Structure 1
Amino acid sequence: MISVILWYNASMSERESYKVLISNGTGEIVEKKSRFIAGVYKVETVEEAEAKIAEVSKKYWDARHNCYAFVIGENSEITRCSDNGEPSGTAGKPILEVIKGSGVTNVLVIVTRYFGGVLLGTGGLVRAYTQAAQAGLSDCEIGEMVFSQKLTLKVGYNMINNVQYYLSQNEINIADSRYEADVQFDICVRDADKQRICDGLIQKCEGQIEIVEGDKGYYIL
């Protein structure tokens, strides 16, 4: 079987990886009788974030404050935050700093405060909003989007075990399998590892493999 490998160079500006939410999360803390309820949501546009903020503000219409921050974009290029009536810099900015510290993008964190009758002061507010945001993020499942290459491996039935063993040894998941005249496995590999993986597969299959490139992009491996 002829080995066919089609290569092209990726842009040097591409990030190797970034973190995203796989599932939303919630968290809550109580500080001197004030309740701080955090909601963490996956968003991909400013419009989507604004719609979620409006939805949560309507849900918690009787709360004193609904403060938020969000980060959007593969390079975290869009950031916004709001204190929503709290003293300047005591709510939105601390929430934003928690998001930045987590390395997650395409994420919105809203912290709702029900006032408990005791003033917390600026330092107390910063700590409370920080802890609430951290509690919400810790409840989320977070995945890593890796700049990767989709590959389709085509082999004869006599090479199935060779391919599966090599992929297992290199901790590469099979995204899809098709058993027809030949066997086809779809995989994704880190762009930086592509040449090494292809060379290894060709060697493992003694040249009896065809490797066809698919799309490049960000995938959770």
Structure 2
Amino acid sequence: MSNFPENPDESDSYLTLAGKSAGVFKDQGSKFLYFAFPIKSEDDIKAHLADLRKNYFDATHHCFAWILGKDGQFFRANDDGEPNHSAGDPILGQIRSHRLTNVLIVIVRYFGGTKLGVSGLIKAYKTAASLAIEENVVVREWMKISVRLKFPYPAMNEVMKVVKGHELEVISQEMELDCRMVLSLREGLAEKVLGKLNEIDGIVINPD
């Protein structure tokens, strides 16, 4: 079952973060440096974690959580030496409560000398993760597919009517006697758009 409620008009979309955010939350002497990133793959995650470990090599803990996939089906939480479920899970919980995916949040802790206890740690990591999201911008992204077209030049006007009418992105185009075009469109519009394109004389969709 999906982690995110689906609206029929938005079933091919997901919520994520627009860019990186960073800041510091302090609690009883400990500093919690928070970082949030939009991500597309586990390679992105590894790269961000490696950069933070290099830049903050002297920190006590690098705790993190991430979610990937339109329906949030891939995820992980890591306590990095903190008591079990006191760091990674609160971070993961904040990503889920904001219905986000394709997001990584890392909290880098510098111990300040006063133990916070499990409940105190949970609250601190939850707060830091929440700030990382609140100080960012949540955006809606659409699942896209690419479609290749081949059509005679006289059909150009009809093709462009479909492109403009559905606000499709033209990735590339070759304007010759036989025109070629690559379009990017929302998954949810694919059936409707392809139906319109198939009505155009001489068009070939995804030619060999």
TM-score > 0.5, shorter chain as reference: yes
Taking a change above 3 Å as real, the CA distance of residues 134 and 209 of structure 1, as seen in their structure-2 partners, is farther
Where does residue 11 of structure 1 map in the other structure?
A: none
Where does residue 96 of structure 2 map in the other structure?
A: 100
Q: Give 1:143 shift.
A: 6.0
Taking a change above 3 Å as real, the CA distance of residues 194 and 36 of structure 1, as seen in their structure-2 partners, is same
Deviations 1:20-47 (CA, angstroms, capped at 9, x unpaired)? 66744434333455332122343633x7
Match for residue 130 of structure 2 among 112, 127, 134: 134
Where does residue 121 of structure 2 map in the other structure?
A: 125
- Kept after mapping to 2: 8 A contact 1:71/1:108: yes
Gaps of 5+ in 2: 1-10
- Kept after mapping to 2: 8 A contact 1:68/1:83: yes
The root-mean-square deviation of aligned C-alpha atoms, in Å, is 3.6
Where does residue 195 of structure 1 map in the other structure?
A: 191
Return the alpha-carbon distance in structure 2 between the equivalents of residues 51 and 176 of structure 1. Answer: 31
Higher relative contact order by CA 8 Å / sep ≥ 6: 1 or 2?
1
TM-score by length of 2: 0.69
Equivalences, count: 195
Q: Secondary structure at the match of 1:84?
A: coil
1:211 aligns with 2:204: yes
Return the alpha-carbon distance in structure 1 between the equivalents of residues 52 and 179 of structure 2. Answer: 49
Gaps of 5+ in 1: 1-14, 215-221
- Among all aligned residue pairs of Structure 1 and Structure 2, give the percentage whose two residues are the same amino acid: 27
Q: Give 1:182 shift.
A: 3.0
Letter in 2 for 1:144: E
Letter in 2 for 1:97: G
Q: Give 1:74 shift.
A: 6.2
- Kept after mapping to 1: 8 A contact 2:87/2:125: yes
Taking a change above 3 Å as real, the CA distance of residues 77 and 198 of structure 1, as seen in their structure-2 partners, is closer
- Kept after mapping to 2: 8 A contact 1:27/1:133: no
Return the alpha-carbon distance in structure 1 between the equivalents of residues 187 and 81 of structure 2. Answer: 46
1:146 aligns with 2:139: no
Where does residue 168 of structure 2 map in the other structure?
A: 172
Where does residue 36 of structure 1 map in the other structure?
A: 32
Return the alpha-carbon distance in structure 2 between the equivalents of residues 43 and 165 of structure 1. Answer: 32
Taking a change above 3 Å as real, the CA distance of residues 57 and 189 of structure 1, as seen in their structure-2 partners, is closer
Q: Secondary structure at the match of 1:104?
A: coil
- Kept after mapping to 1: 8 A contact 2:197/2:203: no
Taking a change above 3 Å as real, the CA distance of residues 180 and 20 of structure 1, as seen in their structure-2 partners, is farther
Where does residue 65 of structure 1 map in the other structure?
A: 61
Q: Give 1:159 shift.
A: 3.7
Return the alpha-carbon distance in structure 2 between the equivalents of residues 73 and 81 of structure 1. Answer: 15
Report 1:81-100 matches (<5 A). Answer: 81-100=77-96
Return the alpha-carbon distance in structure 1 between the equivalents of residues 197 and 68 of structure 2. Answer: 38
TM-score by length of 1: 0.66
